[in-house]
Amino acid sequence: MRLILRLLLTAFAFTTILPMIQGIDFHGNFVGALIMAVVFALLLWAVEAVAVALAAVFTIGSFGLALLWIIPLWIVGFWMFPAIALMLTADIMPQYLTVSGALPAALAGFVMLGIGLLTSEFLWPNRKPAH
């Protein structure tokens, strides 16, 4: 249920909220936005997986010393993952989305991060049936 809600909110953001940011243009309908939401979700997963893998390689390769700069960088820059995924989505699907610059992508990344937080397991914990 959470996944469907997240995809619907992301598609809604593509059609209504993100075009309000100067530098982001959406060309299409809600079905195209749903397709883009799926592509965006897959790319966001890939971006986060690459970031975790790189952090692990740097941490192991430096015997843990890389954590001194990886942890603060992760805390400050974790909201950039949706921005990177959004720019990749625009590169893959230019017929639906145009992002011109890093600043509009970063602002849209905040919107996508908000959608992710609204539909996170923290706010919607899995309910286990009582025995």
Whole-model pTM: value is 0.85
Residue 10 pLDDT exceeds 70: yes
| pLDDT tens per residue, range 55-65 | 889 889 888 88
- The whole-number average pLDDT for the span 30-56 is 93
CB of 39 within 8 A of CB of 93? yes
- Report the candidate in 62, 40, 63, 60 with the shortest Cα–Cα distance to residue 52: 60
Residue 16 pLDDT exceeds 80: yes
| pLDDT tens per residue, range 51-98 | 889 888 988 988 888 888 888 887 877 778 999 999 999 999 999 999
CA distance 17 to 11: 10
Which residue type, as a one-letter code, is found at position 32? Answer: G
Using pLDDT thresholds of 50, 70 and 90, give the confidence band for residue 127.
low
- The whole-number average pLDDT for the span 42-48 is 93
- The whole-number average pLDDT for the span 9-17 is 93
CB of 76 within 8 A of CB of 53? no
Task: Please list, residue by residue across 58-77, b when 16 or more beta carbons sit within 10 angstroms of its beta carbon and e when fewer do.
Answer: eeeeeeeebeeebeeeeeee
Residue 120 pLDDT exceeds 90: no
Using pLDDT thresholds of 50, 70 and 90, give the confidence band for residue 129.
low
Residue 28 pLDDT exceeds 80: yes
Using pLDDT thresholds of 50, 70 and 90, give the confidence band for residue 128.
low
78: its two tokens = 């974790």
CB of 44 within 8 A of CB of 115? no
CB of 18 within 8 A of CB of 98? no
What number of helices (H) and strands (E) belong to the chain?
5, 2
Domain range list for the chain: 2-118
